[in-house]
Amino acid sequence: MINRVFLLVLLVVPFIPLKAQSFPFQNPELSMDKRVEDLISRMTLEEKVGQLIDAAPAIERLGVPQYNWWNECLHGVARNGTATIFPQAIGMAATFDTDLMHRIGQAISMEARAKYNLAVQNGAVEKYQGLTFWTPNVNIFRDPRWGRGQETYGEDPFLTSRIGVSFVKGLQGDHPQYLQAAGLAKHYAVHNGPENLRHEFNAESSMKDMWETYLPAFEALVKEAKVEGVMGAYNRTNGIPCNAHPYLMQEVLREKWGFDGYYVTDCGALSDFYEGHKLVKNAAEAAAMALNAGTNLNCGTTYLELIKSVKEGLTTESEIDKNLRQLLPTRFKLGLFEPQGTVPFDTIGPEWIRKEEHVALSLEAAEKSVVLLKNQNKTLPIDPEVKSIFVTGPTAAHIQALLANYYGVSPDMSTLLEGIVANVSPQTSIKYSQGALLDEPNRNPRDWFSGTAAISDVTIACVGISQLIEGEEGESIMSRNSGDREEIDLPENQINFLKTIRSRAKKLVVVITGGSAVACPEVYEMADALVFAWYPGEQGGMAVGNVLFGKTVPSGKLPVTFPKSVEDLPPYEDYSMKNRTYRYIEKDPLFPFGFGLSYSTFSYGEPALSKSSIQSSESVRVFGTLTNEGEYEAEEVVQLYISDVEAAVDVPKYALKGFQRLRLKPGQTSTFSFEISPQMLELVNEKGEKALEPGVFKIYVGGSVPSKRSLELGAAEYKEIELKVE
């Protein structure tokens, strides 16, 4: 729908003659290089320096408009008024749906252009009004204690790569000359907290971990999605700040991967060089250090000291010119120097903001993100004609549980309570009481809720956490640890609340909100049905209601492993991947990566290979069948994992290498296939080098990571087959 309407928009663009050109850089018929060089040649040193900060001032004598580079669209256009709010990034990853992510990227870019056009018309050029979006966050979510893990696509480099590439392609568009919006990969490259140490912390990573886990998603976004920007992290990596890292920024990013976009600091990061990392004495030295290493843009004001840096011989004007050559093309690609009305996206108007199709897309994404973790005795779906329901819990009517962080706002946000009420018969009796606070005991200890549970046919307890508890350094106002979580279970008061409810409830359905793994073995035992809803966006309540009452069959899969306890995790500050994520975990988890139940039942046939033995240069295809043996038409995420069983070095136990969503009617059987390339069989050695060794590989297909725990929880039985590489 978006593509068809978008083509119509392009066809009706009126012809508007170009204004007389004052300078060659304003002439769209010249090459990009010539336009950039002409603009640089006309600026003074002071004007050049001004263009290297995020709030770049206008140069009126040259007709260069003011521009603010900082904008956000993690799950919808953020911090700039009304917009469609999609599920938080971690929830979108739970859909395992790349086509959906591409459509979401397209929708966001249309709203972004509409908002930008309105801003230009009204002379508004402030922060969060531009077209350079500092999204997505493709850091690997290695530890559930990290408050910003909710911004990522989970713990797996392959899933993160596929979701991220699709999103960026949708966001940036496919016009041959112009970007519709500019995406950015952050935070390059080894960054996962702790939040309260990020301005001084040194993340130590082996070359094997770096190339096996931390770098693949960045590489995919640069090479495949042609992402326009990359943002350096606050911390140091192996002793060197990420915004002045010759190996990561030049040898890897520019030379090995061929990145030709712009590199920007995280905001205020250059002051960390002397205040946190204590590597230089002052701002002038910090500015020169970052500029000389290839940081093109400073989010902050430290680069204003570059004039002093040049005078002191710490850097040169030619070095400034070099960085401008890498920075300025983005503004030209966005059409920011073209006469208004000549860029094909200039006609996108406010009717695209929260367009009906976008709102429906948000609902679809939220429904596909919901993960069913338990459904004892087919408690779900609930009959809409049920006589009585009791809705309770601290997140039932909690807007923050929908929004997550980096959010926009909407006039139509559906809470869990509203979504439940919308799905039941008018004759159903519904009672609601919050029952418990978010993370502290009730000040009034009287129990006025369990009695209602006792007389209700079904009790739906909405618990969990929100952006008030987990998030970025300073935004989570209820956090006791700068947005991170010291513990990863539910707050103790919520556990006690559920115990009281459980003691009297006939049927207990628990809905958990959150942006990270929650260790909840007690809740799993207490609940008759358990649903994980993430931070599901503006339509999240309706999506959860649709799932609980059977309008939608759940199909979400976990993009992260849920440990049983924080004691099962290595120290938070340890960046080694040993005993982290499903690929290296040593203890059985509470819920495994890729896990998620359905109201239907799926079975996998025995897989087959196009060849059982291949040469190291050959690809092979694996074939399989999936049958819906249940009563509901439903979707299943078919997952492909590979294990190298004869590797000469330590390798992941399992590695996700493919996934597909299949929708089947009851009784229907469908075939699927995956191509396995030589690159998918490569290992990473201790030097970070990739190599394909001859030997035996196990190929698994199923609905979750192939593990005993998956089967214990009711996942469809996975199938395996051996492949030999000569």
Active centre residues (catalytic): 266, 470
CB 269 within 8 A of CB 299: yes
| Strand order, beta sheet including 262-265 | 184-188, 229-232, 262-265
3-state secondary structure (DSSP) of residue 147: helix
Q: List Cβ neighbours of 227 (8 Å cut-off, separation of 6 or more).
A: 168, 172, 183, 184, 185, 221, 261
- For residues 172 and 28, give the distance between their C-alpha atoms in angstroms, rounded to a whole number: 20
Which residues are registered as beta bridge partners of 636?
Answer: 662
Nearest to 137 by CA among 122, 154, 121, 123: 154
Task: Compute CA distances 94 → 46, 438, 678, whole Å.
Answer: 48, 24, 27
Cis before 65? omega within 30: no
- For residues 445 and 611, give the distance between their C-alpha atoms in angstroms, rounded to a whole number: 67
Evaluated on CA atoms 564, 210, 250, 30, the torsion sign reads negative
Q: How many residues does the chain have?
A: 726
The two beta strands, 458-464 and 508-513, are parallel
Nearest to 188 by CA among 226, 229, 159: 229
- For residues 413 and 297, give the distance between their C-alpha atoms in angstroms, rounded to a whole number: 36
- For residues 113 and 121, give the distance between their C-alpha atoms in angstroms, rounded to a whole number: 12
Q: What is the DSSP letter of 356?
A: H
DSSP string, 272-293: HHHHTS--SSSHHHHHHHHHHH
Task: Compute CA distances 65 → 48, 296, 347, 617, whole Å.
Answer: 14, 19, 20, 52
Q: List Cβ neighbours of 705 (8 Å cut-off, separation of 6 or more).
A: 582, 592, 593, 594, 595, 639, 641, 654, 656
Residue 80: alpha-carbon gap to chain centroid: 20
Residue 203 CB coordination number (10 Å): 23
Angle at 250 between CA 246 and CA 254, to 5 degrees: 165
- For residues 127 and 299, give the distance between their C-alpha atoms in angstroms, rounded to a whole number: 11
In one-letter notation, the amino acid at residue 410 is S
- For residues 193 and 186, give the distance between their C-alpha atoms in angstroms, rounded to a whole number: 13
CB 697 within 8 A of CB 725: yes
Q: What is the DSSP letter of 224?
A: T
Quick one: which H or E segment has residue 670? strand 669-676
